[in-house]
Amino acid sequence: MIIDLHTHTSPRSPCSHIAPEALVAEAKRLGIDGLCLTEHHALWDPSELADLAGAGGIALFTANEITTDQGDILVFGYPEPVPGVIPIRELHREVAAAGGLMIAAHPLRGFKVFGIGSLQLTAQQASRRKVFQFVEGVEVLNGRLNETENGMAAQVAERLGLIGTAGSDAHDLSELGRAATVFERDIAGEAELIAELRARRFTHGSVR
């Protein structure tokens, strides 16, 4: 089952240019089986998700991209609203208590005109970052990052034994499916999604 684990829609994510209905239609066209809507500090209500999915044949999941003092975190299985920036230690305490899962989103994303390559950052140095002490996983394939940045994230995940996920981080329809997580089993609901991620029964891919 191909799931894009990191997508944004407008207006819940003000930086996105994708209408939810258009996202679902494009996913279907591309052959994606499921989407996780990871809006910034905003969750989808399960009934709204069901309405959106309709008879489209696409499985929809909700998670949250939360900004912490140590960067953006994809949070699965934590249905509480987090309105603003939160210290990662505090978020970790709350999510762990709820049985949720935290994945560091694009942790090694560079800048507009230079990347981590210019900084000569090594995987060993990057692994020491505080953020990795508080997450179970790392996004090792993000559709908006270059090969060096994704490669470095993969090295960090390997060094630290963290789960490595893939998602497009689509803010524009043309970005959808550039990276996706390919699960061995069919998944229904957030609890199963978390269980399969923790069981590491998946690989990475792209539908573009």
Contact residues for other proteins (CB under 8 A)? Answer: 14, 67-72, 84-85, 105-107, 109-121, 125-126, 129-130, 144-146, 148, 172
What Cα–Cα distance (Å) separates residue 41 from each residue in 30, 81, 84, 97, 147?
A: 27, 7, 7, 19, 28
The identity of residue 162, as a single letter, is L
Q: Which is nearer to other proteins, 115 or 164 (CB)?
A: 115
CB of 100 vs other proteins, minimal distance in Å:
20
Q: Which tokens in the block code for residue 198?
A: 């923790």
Q: Which is nearer to other proteins, 146 or 203 (CB)?
A: 146
CB of 127 vs other proteins, minimal distance in Å:
11
- Nearest in space to 176 (alpha carbons), one of 39, 1, 29, 15: 29
**Helix residue ranges per DSSP H, the chain:** 20-30, 46-53, 88-98, 116-119, 123-127, 147-160, 190-199
Q: Which is nearer to other proteins, 145 or 193 (CB)?
A: 145
The gap between the terminal CA atoms of the chain, to the nearest Å, is 16
Q: Which is nearer to other proteins, 30 or 67 (CB)?
A: 67
CB of 139 vs other proteins, minimal distance in Å:
11
Q: What is the DSSP letter of 2?
A: E
Contact 194, 169 (CB under 8 A): no
Q: Which is nearer to other proteins, 130 or 185 (CB)?
A: 130
CB of 76 vs other proteins, minimal distance in Å:
19
CB of 202 vs other proteins, minimal distance in Å:
24
